[in-house]
Amino acid sequence: MIAKTLLLADVRYSEWATRRLLEAASALTAEERIRDLGQSHRGVVATLNHYFVSERLWVDCLATHKLPPLYTLGQSAPPPYISIEELQREWPPIWRRLDAWLAGLTEGELAALIPCETLPGQFRDFPRWEILRHDVNHATLHRGQVVGMLRQLGKQPPNVDIMTYYLSV
């Protein structure tokens, strides 16, 4: 049960850290939220939106046990940006869904393979746990970018380090 325990801890840490960043971002002015800072998806709200949309996708994929063709990701027009306040409302149900889904799985179910077309005509099976690890890692990458953007804006970003999380729970 160590793998499941670690994955649950990762998912819960990711939620905790993202909540802290959303709170910090909510204190920004409207201009600061959308300012192009030359990183990742340019600005704070755009980067948060990107990883929100991504997390929602991966949670849906895990829950339905179905992956889209990977080569198609990012090819369609991105959905319209939603505000920090909307992210604060819309993200928690996704986190609850992911936590409940993961808590209900056995170790064997975590290893269940999800077929995927990676490139046209090329296929690979992904164990569920790999998709979950990707989701958490992707969120960590973009949280780090938002921390950097907050510093560029002259703000003190929240501490989103995993050790701080461990000390808080």
Low pLDDT (below 50) residues in the chain: none
| pLDDT tens digit sequence for 72-109 | 998 877 778 899 999 999 999 999 999 999 999 998 99
Q: In this predicted structure, what is the pLDDT of residue 42?
A: 92
Q: Residue 74: its pLDDT value, please? A: 81
Q: What is the reported pTM?
A: 0.93
The answer to whether domain 2-168 has CATH 3.75.10.10 is no
Residue 76: what pLDDT?
Answer: 77
The pLDDT of residue 28 is 98
Q: Where are the alpha helices (DSSP H) in the chain?
A: 2-26, 30-34, 44-64, 84-103, 107-110, 128-152, 162-168
The number of residues in the chain equals 169
CB atoms within 10 A of CB 142: 22
